[in-house]
Structure 1
Amino acid sequence: MDRLADELRVFSLRLSRVLDDIGVNERTVMIRRRTGLLLESLYTLEHYVIRKFNGDITVFKFGSQTEGTTTLGLNSDTDTLICYSRYNIIQDWWQWEQGKINLLMLRDNAAPGYCRLQLLRSDIPEAREDLPDYSFEYDDEGRVLMKNTLLHVLQPGKIRHGPSSSSAELNDDRVIGLPCKSWPTEALPWVTRTIAGQWPGRNLKCFSVNSGCFVVSTGHCLSETERLEWRISTSIAERCLMFNMNITQIRCYVVLKMIMKTFLNGTVTSYQCKTVLMHLVEITNSELWREENLIFCIIMSLRLLQLRVFINNCPHYFVPENNLLDGRLNLEARQNIVFMIGNIIDSKCIAILGINIDDIGDRLNATLFHRISHYFMSPKDVRLNIYRGLQYDLYQDTHIIFQEIVNGLDNYTHIINCNDMKDNIRRVLTFRANGRCSELAAAEILAPILCTTLGTMLASADISGGRCISAESLQWLSLGTDSDVASGRLKLASVLFCSGDIHRASVTLHEVEQRYDTRVTLPICGYASKDMFVYFSNLRFSDNCLLCYDYKTTLNINVAFGVVFTREEKHCVPNGLKYEMFRCTEEERQTRDRKDYWVDWAVVDSLPYLYYLQYMTYRKLDNRAGQQRALGRLIHTIDTEPYLQHRETALNLLGQCMEIEDRLMDALTCYRRSLNWKSTHNVARWHIVHLLYRFL
């Protein structure tokens, strides 16, 4: 018996080491959580700033990505909940609020963990008797109930999965939730059911109760009136509990998910595994959850899961009456699951050696037999790949949010007002004052880019009016110079160039050239291809910057946002780039996607724009040698830089330079290459027409 215990202890320590190597450790888990919360704040900030739906939206990031309970190989989904706070879900009449869409939870004839929503009047606390629209219907008692199909609105490219919609290309599940400020009545027994001193503690329970819950638009699968039922979601409380699990509990959960995915083909969901784990952590001593006991903890979890499947009852952690297996598995599937789990338990989890996810089996074999393998990634490479992926998603989403905020200013008039931009920046600063670390970081990332845009808009108005660049414009531009490696300074240089201050423009461009190191800097632009991460993972980053995970430092070393000029900034844009604002035919404009609004702007990667501006600046300074050097570097960048996200625009700029050089055939070649790269929404067509006119 002692020998078996020693073997399990050694196996546990080796498995813990392997999990550490693939990124399931305290530091990486914490970074995943910080990034998830920061993205949550960034998207909430977007809605807060541009006041979509009157600014009553809060975005939450749930699931394994934000909990830190995933790996590169598991490739878990990103779960996004969009909360509409203009709705007020109440459980008692005293919670009614005037002016809001009040909906009363009804539990009668609803399965445990589900409810129906009765519409109330917004002026007085009484039930509404008329049907507002087709999204509501009467029940058997004449009450006006809201159908859960109200929020089932799919965007193009999305797939419906229960209450959520998923992107066909990205691992991104989105669900719309309605907030309830009070804790579910049926979950109140959980508050007092655990033994004093056991997990979760009193503070966790207080936070969970105070966080309330959501209702999401899906009914029970066995209900005859599924369209009228809403599932009660305790996602905030669940995330809080997962955040307070130790690393051994996190590793146990990760291994459970790998086992389910490898041996059971996902018939048992990760949420069911999480529920089993939370029940187990609650009833066991916290001293048990140590890394030398990891295998024993996994076996205990499997035994409990096996029992739940065998009796066909997996009770929800907060609402035990809600059976997560109800109607999900037939008898044959349950028997297969029980049999497979039994085999894994009987083998003392040796079956883990057969898991290919993240090379877990190979890594364990290598440690068990003291072999060194160069087949799989080193722990450092795994760590850096995780950090790079998180940063890529974070900064690309940042640029998307920036463009959405700017686009949200036009109010369908295609005119962006400087005063509205100032108001938006004030709202960003107000958001920062809320106090949460993630909200502060979100505002600090987004504010400089908006300041640069405002400065350029003011400068464009000055130039169009024949005035000198105002001190206010230069002040806003200076606040945005550190938005990233290059784009803020490039917009300043563009303003100086177009206002005739060529020498200062040249100095600014030289500074950008000194800062931009292609070995460690990646171009990032919103709505560009997500495939860019393939290149991103191979980029040589500053290890110190990645390890400290300082967002501000990373922005100023590793990230070069695309340079974006709206039409309100057109007087600060050289003619060669200004043409990009008119790339669409009328047919393309009529058929393009909603997110393609940016094609009416001039958007270019920082590095080619740097060399194009240098070429134009040296031309003004009559510096032929510098002009040719900039032209050569522009050509070299287009031909060799794999990370460009607007290569067709860079080729168009190069074609403009070739026309200036009177190398018309080379210019034609550039425009043809540009069209080959992107056949639609490309101004190269008009450049070719102009060239043909010159030839004739």
Structure 2
Amino acid sequence: MEKGDSYNAKAESYVDSVKGITDKRQWGSMAMKTVIITKTKRTGNLNHIIPEHFTALSIRMSEALDDSGAGKHTIMERRRTFMWRESMEMILYQANGINNECFHFGSQSEGTTTPGLNSDIDFLISCNKVNTMAVWGDWEAGMWNLLMLQEEDINPPQQYLLQYFRKYTPEPETLLLHDQYVMKDTVQVLLSSERWKQDIEFHHKDHGEVHVTKCGPSVSCIPNWDVVFAIPVCKPLPEIQHWIDRCRGRHWPPVQLLEAAQVAPCFLVPAGHPDSDYKREEWRVSPNLIERMLMFSFNMTQIRCYIVLKLIKKSLFAKIVGDSLTSFHCKTIMFYCIERTQPSLWFEHNLMFLLRFCLHVLKKCLQMGRLPHYIIEGVNLFDGKLSKVKQRRLLVYIDSMIRSNLQDVFYIGIDTLGCRLQACGILRIGQDVELGRACLRNSISLLLKFECLNSFLGVITDQMKRFNTNFDKTIQNKLRNVFEYSTNVRLKSVVLEFVKNLFSLQNSMQSSYILRLRNSVYNELIRRFQYSLQTDVASKRLKLASLLYASGHLHSAVRVLEDVEKRYHRKVKSVCSCRHIKGDCDLQVFASMKLEKCDNVFNEPPFAFCVMFVRQEMYCAPYILWFEMNRNIAEEEVAQRNPLEKQWMDRAEVDARPFLYYLQYLTYGGLGERYKQLHAMEELDSYTCIGDEMRMINLYHPETSLNLLGHCYEMEGNFQGALHYYEESLSWAGTNNAANWHVQRVQRLISI
């Protein structure tokens, strides 16, 4: 059995079956009752009676969460987006011949966050070239074999040491062959978790990444991302089996989930126990996939309860214990509470009661000084996180909070939840409320789509930089590798996007080759562009228009450009993989993109990629863009480029809307339609030079747009005007800018 095969067969089918969250509002006779919940100290039993105001407050809390961006639609949108991104990143590794799997865990992929929580993105990369062995008999030839060692008097629960075995003989290694290895007292060669992280950090810095953040097992060079390079464990672990046996016969977790958990791989992450003598060598077992399945089994009320717990943690508890109490503590509390309560209680009108029950469970854990890990026995989640002093402080506050019937929820400042709770008690106009929720929901949806497209463009860009001199053959190999995953239902939609973009690039390169030989591009090549036009509003259509212009098909180019102009309404947001504008990810940007029914007659996502030409496509691009592929005038400028710039500065990249106007100027000029030509030039001038906030946040390559405008003035014979705009371009980027070439050329023309 290959690693992960049985998980894909069982676990994925389970996740698919539970990912449709239902929010059943079946009040029945309970809705009319006054219930008071009291907790008996002696027996610990719950009597189902709560104060009458808790029912009303529960409904108000649900409405406030909906208003804050924690509605069902948004939760599911987050899940779909991050599952899509997970598939995309996994295909990227496989297409490049790297045997890694990728997973998004945590709040973003669970959908259990709000804009105010500003949750990090948790990303785990599983290095499948490693074979982790429970016993010597698990050794596999040709693999990187590591034996899991655990001694009760040395390693705390959940912690393992990894002994390195030779690759081609089932014998322990005795030599330190790599900096990641250390020698244990018993002459065992171990893989050090700390040196593993150091090696990743050095790798990032060798590739020019200046800001590398280490936090726990994470080593990341991306802001707001926790990236963990982990080792998969596909063999059954006694810790997991013990938990499965403990849970059998209970109403939660369900039987299907436990069956999927038996075959789901766990991960060894580079993190030692804070009190261990071997904390620099130890690896921690992490059942992330099982925890994600548990989260995906939550109903809507359970998700809302968890979100409120996190809001309380970040807004109220943080004032007492800082960030010592984590979201994982809250998640563990939720697991125990769901396991110990009947499913009939988990409905919207019981939300505040359930929240108070969660706080009772946390209070009891603080009294004992112990929060057990839900899955792995013997692990205290307070160790190394919440000191005894902080536990006592938090205990006093939670006790006070429970005694005051959770009045402190009105002081939650994040997402102005407290204010929203109070506003929910005021008579509100239903239509305005629904409009506000719809606006926020659409804004979050557009933001998620924007970030997903941005990430996808980065992946496509990453593919291009890996191409060797034989581009056409490389693309064919990539297409073949990617297409292998088209039969996988989970990956199919991602595969199609990869194929469309790679096929479009191959098609454009073949057209460029034909034009370089001064031959006519045959109709079949032009027809092939239709398969990739739907990637976004404009970029692929503009490349087609550019090809048609270069081929002399001016009337056809005009029709394509007119089609682009109709689609490119004023709400379209630009997407760029190589540059970031401060504020371009703010939620307010996407709130202003709210579409009127008449705005987008084509019903397409309102995004336009920057138009990009690699050198192998240069004959499909206007001549002026050839200079963009040779931006430097001296080798010293190349040395000034940062790692990201090195990926794209040898190709032409321009914002879609300025390129639309520039192509219109060229095409209408070629057809002798002077009025339309001048109008296109005025539009380019206006868009590039009148810098209102929304326009500037959509202009990722202002220096290139100014170069196109300068070239229009140059073609008009207005050399002084051309020089002005080229110099304006240099004010944006003085080096690595094609404007340096243009200035020299125009100055020669002026001096003649």
Tell me what 2:176 maps to: 131
1:6-25 CA-to-partner distances (Å, cap 9, x unmatched) read: 11111111111211222223
Matches of 1:538 and 1:25, distance apart in 2: 17
Contact 1:366 1:372 in 2 (8 A): no
1:572-620 CA-to-partner distances (Å, cap 9, x unmatched) read: 1111122111113422322422222101110011111111111111222
1:455 aligns with 2:512: no
Matches of 1:302 and 1:485, distance apart in 2: 49
Tell me what 1:10 maps to: 56
Contact 1:69 1:254 in 2 (8 A): yes
Matches of 1:142 and 1:668, distance apart in 2: 72
Using the TM superposition, give the Cα deviation of residue 691 of structure 1 relative to its aligned residue in structure 2, in angstroms: 2.1
Give the counterpart letter for 1:22 in structure 2: S
Q: How many pairs align?
A: 679
Contact 2:578 2:648 in 1 (8 A): no
1:308-365 CA-to-partner distances (Å, cap 9, x unmatched) read: 2332211111112111111323222111111111122112111000001111101111
Matches of 2:573 and 2:105, distance apart in 1: 28
Contact 1:263 1:340 in 2 (8 A): no
Alignment CA distance shift 1:472-1:426 (3 Å):
farther
Tell me what 2:185 maps to: 140
Structure 1 residues 582-601: aligned runs within 5 Å:
582-584=630-632, 585-596=634-645, 597-601=647-651
Using the TM superposition, give the Cα deviation of residue 416 of structure 1 relative to its aligned residue in structure 2, in angstroms: 5.0
Alignment CA distance shift 1:422-1:162 (3 Å):
same
Structure 1 residues 526-537: aligned runs within 5 Å:
526-529=577-580, 531-534=583-586, 536-537=589-590
Alignment CA distance shift 1:487-1:103 (3 Å):
same
Matches of 1:478 and 1:287, distance apart in 2: 53
1:242-289 CA-to-partner distances (Å, cap 9, x unmatched) read: 011011111111111111111221321011110111122112211121
Give the counterpart letter for 2:662 in structure 1: Y
SS at match of 1:532: coil
Match of 2:447 among 358, 371, 389: 389
Structure 1 residues 152-231: aligned runs within 5 Å:
152=198, 153-154=200-201, 155=204, 156=209, 157-167=211-221, 170-194=223-247, 196-231=249-284
Matches of 1:364 and 1:649, distance apart in 2: 49
Alignment CA distance shift 1:317-1:544 (3 Å):
farther
Contact 2:529 2:544 in 1 (8 A): yes
1:655 aligns with 2:710: yes
1:497 aligns with 2:546: no
Contact 1:111 1:220 in 2 (8 A): yes
Matches of 2:244 and 2:598, distance apart in 1: 43
1:483 aligns with 2:535: yes
Matches of 1:593 and 1:541, distance apart in 2: 36
Using the TM superposition, give the Cα deviation of residue 187 of structure 1 relative to its aligned residue in structure 2, in angstroms: 2.5
Tell me what 2:29 maps to: none
Report which stretch shifted further, 290-299 or 19-28: 19-28
SS at match of 2:147: strand
1:337 aligns with 2:394: yes
Tell me what 1:509 maps to: 561
Matches of 2:78 and 2:495, distance apart in 1: 19
SS at match of 2:280: helix
Alignment CA distance shift 1:455-1:545 (3 Å):
farther
1:410-459 CA-to-partner distances (Å, cap 9, x unmatched) read: 3xxxx3511211221232222222221xx122122332222221111111
Match of 1:32 among 78, 86, 111: 78
1:525 aligns with 2:576: yes
Contact 1:495 1:573 in 2 (8 A): yes
Tell me what 1:270 maps to: 327
Matches of 1:542 and 1:416, distance apart in 2: 44
Using the TM superposition, give the Cα deviation of residue 677 of structure 1 relative to its aligned residue in structure 2, in angstroms: 2.5
Tell me what 1:434 maps to: 488
Contact 1:477 1:492 in 2 (8 A): yes
Tell me what 1:380 maps to: 438
Alignment CA distance shift 1:98-1:381 (3 Å):
same
SS at match of 1:421: helix
Contact 1:541 1:558 in 2 (8 A): no
SS at match of 1:215: strand
Match of 1:365 among 407, 422, 443: 422
Match of 2:312 among 249, 256, 259: 259
Tell me what 2:721 maps to: 666
Alignment CA distance shift 1:321-1:93 (3 Å):
same
1:502-540 CA-to-partner distances (Å, cap 9, x unmatched) read: 222222222222222122x21111022153223742442
Matches of 1:379 and 1:435, distance apart in 2: 33
Report which stretch shifted further, 683-692 or 217-226: 683-692
Match of 2:159 among 114, 135, 157: 114
Matches of 2:476 and 2:520, distance apart in 1: 21
Matches of 1:379 and 1:183, distance apart in 2: 46
Alignment CA distance shift 1:18-1:692 (3 Å):
same
Give the counterpart letter for 2:577 in structure 1: G
Give the counterpart letter for 2:189 in structure 1: V
Alignment CA distance shift 1:346-1:127 (3 Å):
same
Contact 1:392 1:536 in 2 (8 A): no
Percent sequence identity over matched residues?
Answer: 33
Give the counterpart letter for 1:404 in structure 2: D
Contact 1:89 1:180 in 2 (8 A): yes
1:564 aligns with 2:564: no
